[in-house]
Amino acid sequence: MSTPPAPRTVDINCDIGEGFGHYTIGADAEIMPLITTANVACGFHAGDPVIMDRTVRDAKRNGVVVGAHPGFQDVAGFGRRRIALDPEEVAAAVTYQVGALTGFLAAHDMRLNHVKPHGAFYAYLRDDEQAGAAAARAVHAMAPDAKVYWPAPTGGAVFCDELAGLGHQVIPEIYPDLTYSPDGRIIIQRRKLRTDVTFAASQVKRFLTEGVVEAEDGTLIRHEAASVCIHSDGPNAVEVANAVRGAVLDAGAGIAAVGAAG
């Protein structure tokens, strides 16, 4: 099997704006200049109105595109605990959170670039077809032109399939600061741990040169992706962001948001 050519440009997206009130979570100010795409918490799993406004303003200053990062209404659990919802509740939760961020974007003369479900909410939409369909309809109703970010592979997920059918661009992503199970799924951490930056950089280089990522048991998994996702809440998140950027540039690729490159 031939090795796929490295992408000309790589999008680096980051889950960000995840503090709450007086509590700071994530080195947002230091990370923002290092990324191209921001997934902003919308107040359910993290974030609040002041933080959302500040994060949007900082993204605009740094030329970073912004998307909504809706999650479960669970600040105490940081959105990493599964909560059973009926489809109406799922749709309402997505509408509420996307609508909130859209308001702050409008205040700063910016547009919503994308929607990316957070943590356990993503897994819930992946595993529950009714929930995935309800969330997809809500996204389309609120943001008919928005892109959708989703962990590779995207095929087979009702949420992604429905939105793709409605004309939304679905952006698959890899995760150099998380681990993979042998079946190719990301392993969601209950609490973000310190990342081995050497391994994170090697995951990015391996993906760009060979089209694969390494699972926790050493299995090499072939993925197609257009973006690399990192997290702002890790203990060494800034170090990870710099390592990922370095790996992309070392592989001979440029760095730009999806759709921004010439």
Give pLDDT tens digits along the chain (262 positions). 455 555 589 999 999 999 999 999 989 999 999 999 999 999 999 999 999 999 999 999 999 999 999 999 999 999 999 999 999 999 999 999 999 999 999 999 999 999 999 989 999 999 999 999 999 999 999 999 999 999 999 989 999 999 999 999 999 999 999 999 999 999 887 778 899 999 999 999 999 999 999 999 999 999 999 999 999 999 999 999 999 999 999 999 999 999 874 4
* Residue that has been written with the tokens 């050519």 in this structure: 5
Specify if 4 maps to a domain. Answer: no
Query: Which residues are bridge partners to 228 per DSSP?
Result: 12, 174
CB 200 within 8 A of CB 243: yes
Specify if 3 maps to a domain. Answer: no
182 contact partners, CB below 8 Å, separation of at least 6: 215, 216, 217, 219, 221
pLDDT at 189: 79
Closest CA to 231 of 162, 155, 175: 175
Q: Which long-range contacts (CB under 8 A, 24 or more apart) does 92-95 make?
A: 92/138, 93/44, 94/70, 94/134, 94/135, 94/138, 94/139, 94/142, 95/138, 95/141, 95/142
Rounded alpha-carbon distances, angstroms, from residue 24 to 72, 142, 232: 20, 30, 11
pLDDT at 190: 75
* Residues spanned by the domain of 133: 9-255
pLDDT at 70: 98
On the question of a cis peptide bond just before residue 153, with omega within 30 degrees of 0, the verdict is yes
Specify if 76 maps to a domain. Answer: yes
pLDDT at 157: 94
Provide the CATH number for the domain around residue 18: 3.20.20.370
Specify if 2 maps to a domain. Answer: no
pLDDT at 7: 56
pLDDT at 1: 46
CB 61 within 8 A of CB 53: no
Specify if 110 maps to a domain. Answer: yes
Specify if 262 maps to a domain. Answer: no
The total number of structural domains that make up the chain: 1
Specify if 261 maps to a domain. Answer: no
Closest CA to 40 of 108, 89, 140: 108
pLDDT at 260: 78
pLDDT at 256: 96
pLDDT at 113: 98
Specify if 138 maps to a domain. Answer: yes
